[in-house]
Amino acid sequence: MVNKRSSPWLPLFQERCVALVVWLAVGLVTTLFLWLVSEIVLQGIGVVSWEFILSAPQNAGRDGGIGPMLVATALIVGVCLGVSVPLGLGTAIVLAEYTNENRRLSQWVRRSLDVLAGVPSIVFGLFGHAFFCLFLGLGFSLLSGGMTLACMVLPLLIRSTEESLRAIPREYRLSAAALGLSRWTTVTRLLIPLALPGFAAGLILGVGRAMAETAALLFTSGYVDRFPTSLLDSGRALSVHIWDLAMNVPGGNSHAYASALVLVGLLFAINLTSSFIADQWKKHALT
């Protein structure tokens, strides 16, 4: 009966230690996040204004604003989504609904997607440069950049959509089949609305990754900081602009912080609106 382990204060002590470690970890992560954001906000907020958001940069970005970068970023992300959403949704549906999970083909597709998801962005940049810019002759253009980003985003999008399709109970598919519903109706009317939250999650991750991407865009959409006039124009994405100001332009720091603040704000806004839209759509489609 007299056992060291059974002494009353030891378990309590252990409990406290574990709690302390856990809370320390939480505190550390939160502090890091807050520090990062407050640094950006404090250093950038003085520069940000409508003028800054809308006007073109001057003096290599030390003065002026980020208007062209915002336009270029929007176009690049637009191209990226235009390519990756239909491709991603289609692939995920084929993988989840039309192939057997254990078939060799789908296993290979899945494995290569997982590898692709972990490939560094600079490799995508080199590939995009070689394929879109040179081989397809699109040159340094928003189109090349957007499509390169689409290649990067696709694995994330496909896997998360596929997982959420697979998570849908088999009963729905069986009862749909028992009613003589075609595969197409089952997929479009039942499965896609049900898989929407997963799709939205993949999309948010993807857009976040695309908007924050620098390395892949340096090689594909280029660097030019005027307002783009077509998709075949070269253009400078916001993240590239930040990198340029921070690394190449002495005295560009305050504008780099301001641009970063705008970028973080945009990502935040996109996160909120996309989850809101997904909620609404789901409610609308499923009630």
Cβ pair 216, 152 in contact under 8 A: yes
Q: What is the C-alpha separation between 48 and 61, in angstroms, rounded? A: 13
Q: Check residue 278 for interaction with other proteins (CB under 8 A).
A: no
Stretch binding other proteins (CB under 8 A), from 23-31, 179-187, 208-216, 226-234: 179-187
Q: Which of residues 42-61 bind other proteins (CB under 8 A)?
A: none
Interface pattern 192-211 for other proteins (x via CB under 8 A): -xx-----------------
Of 1, 2, 178, 247, the one binding other proteins by CB under 8 A: 178
Q: Check residue 185 for interaction with other proteins (CB under 8 A).
A: yes
Tell me the torsion sign for CA atoms 196, 199, 205, 208: negative
Of 176, 200, 237, 245, the one binding other proteins by CB under 8 A: 176
Q: Check residue 100 for interaction with other proteins (CB under 8 A).
A: yes
Of 110, 166, 173, 209, the one binding other proteins by CB under 8 A: 173
Q: Check residue 287 for interaction with other proteins (CB under 8 A).
A: yes
Q: Check residue 175 for interaction with other proteins (CB under 8 A).
A: yes
Two tokens at 73?
């970023």
Which contiguous run of DSSP H or E holds residue 163?
helix 142-166
Q: What is the C-alpha separation between 85 and 202, in angstroms, rounded? A: 10
Of 58, 107, 182, 273, the one binding other proteins by CB under 8 A: 182
Q: How far is CA 189 from CA 70, 91, 162, 176, 265, in A?
A: 36, 18, 17, 10, 35
Cβ pair 116, 155 in contact under 8 A: yes
DSSP assignment string, 120-141: -HHHHHHHHIIIIIIIS---S-
The candidate with the shortest Cα–Cα distance to 56, out of 46, 45, 44, 68, is 68
Q: How far is the CB of 35 from other proteins (least distance, A)?
A: 43
Q: Check residue 179 for interaction with other proteins (CB under 8 A).
A: yes
- The residue among 4 and 283 lying less far from other proteins, judged by its C-beta, is 283
Q: How far is CA 264 from CA 48, 87, 173, 211, in A?
A: 13, 27, 41, 10
Of 174, 232, 269, 277, the one binding other proteins by CB under 8 A: 174
Q: How far is the CB of 159 from other proteins (least distance, A)?
A: 22
Instruction: Summarize as ranges the residues that interact with other proteins (CB under 8 A).
Output: 100, 169, 171-182, 185, 189-190, 193-194, 286-287
